[in-house]
Amino acid sequence: MNILTTTAAKIVLDAGCGPAESRIHPNFEGPEWARLRVDADPSVEPDLIAQVWNLQGVADASIDAVWCKSVIDHLTWDQAAKMLREFHRVLVPGGACLIVCLDFEKLCRAVLEEGLDSTRYESPIGPVSAFDQIFGFKPHVAAGNPWILKRSGWTRPMLAKALTEAGFQSGEVKANDDFMSEAMMAVAIK
């Protein structure tokens, strides 16, 4: 998608988009939305090849919303802080940032109750264990996929604090069982 030539009224930046068939939040599926797919992995053929913490190819205050699913826990703490500041920079005033990730506290409770090797959910390519959720999906790690390794864990208060520190004015972090039982979603406004 060329965001300079889109006829859509609004643009959502899909940060760490993955393959084109990856789901986007239903709020951004209507014809009024154009999806700008951003990923560091050129094999997923994003619109913009970039690290999510360095969005130099995106102008200040040019994006209406950011969608970021299952990305932040693959980053180091400093990369995550930079990413949130970049999201704030590219969003228009009043723009929304939606982040879905694992609630590490909730996952740790599940590990204590059911074990590290417990199956947390079934993916299209096989079962995903708590171990996979904490460290990275074993089949992808074994195949040499560097993007799948986990480098941080987040709780609701930690994510809310990081969003505030990045400059977001208001936000809410809550459970998001629609995605998976240990997930949370943050909705923050610039």
Res. 28: pLDDT tops 60: yes
Distance CA 171, CA 52 (A): 20
CATH 2.60.120.260 fits 10-103+151-189, yes or no: no
Task: Specify whether the CB–CB gap between 167 and 153 falls below 8 A.
Answer: no
Q: What is the pLDDT of residues 89-147, one digit of tens each?
A: 999 999 999 999 999 999 999 999 999 999 998 888 889 999 999 999 999 888 988 88
pTM across the whole model: 0.90
Task: Specify whether the CB–CB gap between 60 and 89 falls below 8 A.
Answer: yes
Residue (of 181, 176, 147) closest to 67 by Cα position: 176
Q: What is the pLDDT of residues 42-76, one digit of tens each?
A: 999 999 999 999 999 999 999 999 999 999 999 99
Boundaries of every domain in the chain: 10-103+151-189
Q: pLDDT > 90: what percent of the chain?
A: 77
